[in-house]
Amino acid sequence: MADTPEKDLTRPREMPFLYLKGFAMGSADVVPGVSGGTMALILGIYSRLIFAIKSVDLETVKQVFTLKWGAVFTRVHWMFLISVFLGGVSAIFFFTRVIALPVLMHTHPEIIYGLFFGLISGSILLLLRAVGDVGWKEAITVMAGAAIGLRIVTLVPTDTPETVLFVFLSGSLSITAMVLPGISGSFILLILRKYEYILGNIALLGTDRTMEAMSVLFPFGFGMVVGLVLFVRLLSWLIKRYHIFTLCLLVGFMAGSLYVIWPYQEREYTEIVDSQVMPIQDPLVQELMEREKKGREPERRRPEYWKSGPVINPEDPESEQKVEVIHVRRRLISSNPYWPDWTAPSSDERLEGDARALYGGLGTMFAGFLLVGYLGRLMRRKNTDGGSGGIGLP
């Protein structure tokens, strides 16, 4: 195909279906292991996605700054991009508000990481199947990728910085992976130890901490834009010119990185505690005090929780009383994989939830593996029926 963007063929009646496909892609990218690019291949919109992204280039930026809106809407595949983008954003909010993955990663780590491990393992086999016959050059590339992946996850500290520059870099790298078949952006965020951090801040949108979340999400979003503009073109060129070796390198990278995704890890956390004095009539204070009256302890395994301290001035009228509210945030400082006691899991104190954690992790691992296998079957069927013919760029 030509390098110049093709004309957007999207019609208004197609936009609801593109929204649903964008939701499926967003769901795949939120859950580490299943690539949004792979989902786009299965859903038959991968080529259109790449050309839509490429339609936003330097010429488009010039047209925006010179207010040539007619030219912008003619050049950019805006109907396609808006539909898919809104679907992806909806999926992200679903997995941060309805099913809060960042919280579940703290409260049920074996089950959630078991799912991630199964999805990523299945994706590795899916990519190997796409590679086909593997010779010694391909095998060396896979092993090199595995060594690089293992080295990266052991070099990257457990608690990476939360600076603007590192968040920007995380956004650039994650969006690059999101559009590649076989590797998900959330997987990159897991490796960079920013998965919980970013999704946790997305969950804060619409609350009284929205501005705090925006201070994180703005540089992350700007990094995503830069990643799309700069890196997607480079990676698309690489996978076009060196298709098999690029896939082999991705396979090895994902295999080596499974070290930190293994669900059974001895995780050590540190607690960052701060407090503030609030009026006793504050809704948060009332909620905490009511919970305390009922004898309900805060869930201390959550990534953050609040608890009420003593009334500071109990001798004053109630309307003037103030309470110390303590905010505790948990940060992972070390994580070391272990082999659980399969014969007596109830006595294995390393498991977060006794035998249920062990069997739950195995169950979700198997479910994730089967899900990727099913998606691979759909993709092969589509290729057989005249699809894209494999995992790669058009």
d(Cα 187, Cα 316) in Å, to the nearest integer? 53
Average model confidence (pLDDT) across the chain: 80
pLDDT tens digits for range 361-387: 999 999 989 988 887 787 677 666 554
Element at 38 (helix H, strand E): helix 36-43
Q: CA nearest 328: which of 302, 357, 351, 348?
A: 302
pLDDT tens digits for range 133-156: 778 888 898 899 888 878 776 766
* SS3 at position 29: helix
d(Cα 180, Cα 378) in Å, to the nearest integer? 18
Q: What average pLDDT does the segment 37-66 reach? A: 75
d(Cα 223, Cα 166) in Å, to the nearest integer? 10
- Give the orientation angle of helix 243-261 with respect to helix 109-131, to 10 degrees: 160
pLDDT of 386 reads: 53
pLDDT tens digits for range 83-114: 998 998 898 888 877 888 778 888 888 998 89
Residue 394 binned pLDDT confidence (cut-offs 50, 70, 90)? very low
Q: Decide if pLDDT at 233 tops 80.
A: no
In SS3 terms, 210-267 reads as: HHHHHHHHHHHHHHHHHHHHHHHHHHHHHHHHCHHHHHHHHHHHHHHHHHHHCCCEEE
* pTM as predicted: 0.71
Domain boundaries of the chain, sorted by first residue: 12-264+358-384, 275-338
pLDDT of 87 reads: 92
With pLDDT > 70 as the criterion, what percentage of the chain qualifies? 86
Cβ atoms of 8 and 77 within 8 Å: the answer is yes
